[in-house]
Amino acid sequence: MLDTNTLNNYRNAGSIAAKIREEAKKIVKEGTPLIKICEKLEKKIISEGGKPAFPLNISINNVAAHYTSPPEDKTTVPPRALVKVDIGVHVNGFIADTALTVSVGKVGLELVKASELALEKALKTIKDGVKSSQIGGIIEKTIKESGFKPISNLTGHLLEQYNLHAGKTIPNVKTRIGFTLKEGEAYAIEPFATTGAGIVEDSKYSYIYRLASQKTSTQVLSHIAREFKTLPFASRWLVSKFSKKRVEEVIKRYVSTRTIQSYPVLVEREKGIVSQAEHTFIVKKNGCEVTSA
């Protein structure tokens, strides 16, 4: 069971995340610079009383996840596209993770519905004692019945304080081996649907990172540890304090020593278009509380 303070932190984070999700629907429009969307929504998280739990992800068409604007990004929203906006908010380290897919130019509407319906049906099954494999089976069945494929190597995840991926994962497909969800646990669940192969691969680009070791030896690493702890951060978050060249040098050096973990931009293997829907919930005895609703 969660204590009252922890539960309130999760609820507050979820309430802020829901507001940001609604704002995203308004500002993701053709021709808008991605960096403008990222910065506006991240600033709104802070103005609402939270902090970003990770850089705003804004992933277009066959890009499934982990794209956030690098410094000086010139990319804009295309005229016809599916734009996935993945939002993370934390209050005192307790996280809400939610996502939506915006159809620009009214394309891919059935694909968007597939991931949303899979999320809706999965949430209805969640309660203390339900198996993760059962949830994955529901997501897979729903997406396939809609005429698409679930992405099998992307999953939902357990949330803990200052820990975005806390060990347990909820699959988007049925699995033979799983675990039992327990009352009081917090998870993010995120069905991805695609017109492609149903598998994502790493691209050669990374704009999101996480400090993997708290043993810091430089000013930049100390700043990262102090400001973000073990939560993911964006390279563009650092260039307001340090030079772009220094940031690039530090990241390159410490990714090679595994002091910093990189999150490559993930793309669909067959360049299929991808949709995503996501909510955060807390497991209850006879259901769940969706904090990001």
Annotated catalytic residues are 86, 97, 157, 165, 190, 278
Question: Would you say 208 and 68 are in contact if contact means Cβ atoms under 8 Å apart?
Answer: yes
Beta bridge partners of 193: 150, 275
**286 burial type by CB count under 10 A (0-12 exposed, 13-18 middle, 19+ buried):** exposed
- Cα–Cα distance for residue pair 32/199, rounded to 1 Å: 29
- First vs last C-alpha separation in the chain: 21
- Backbone phi, psi, residue 59, to 5°: -115, 130
Question: Would you say 192 and 241 are in contact if contact means Cβ atoms under 8 Å apart?
Answer: no
Q: Cα dist. 69→39, 61, 66, 118, 146 in Å?
A: 9, 16, 10, 29, 32
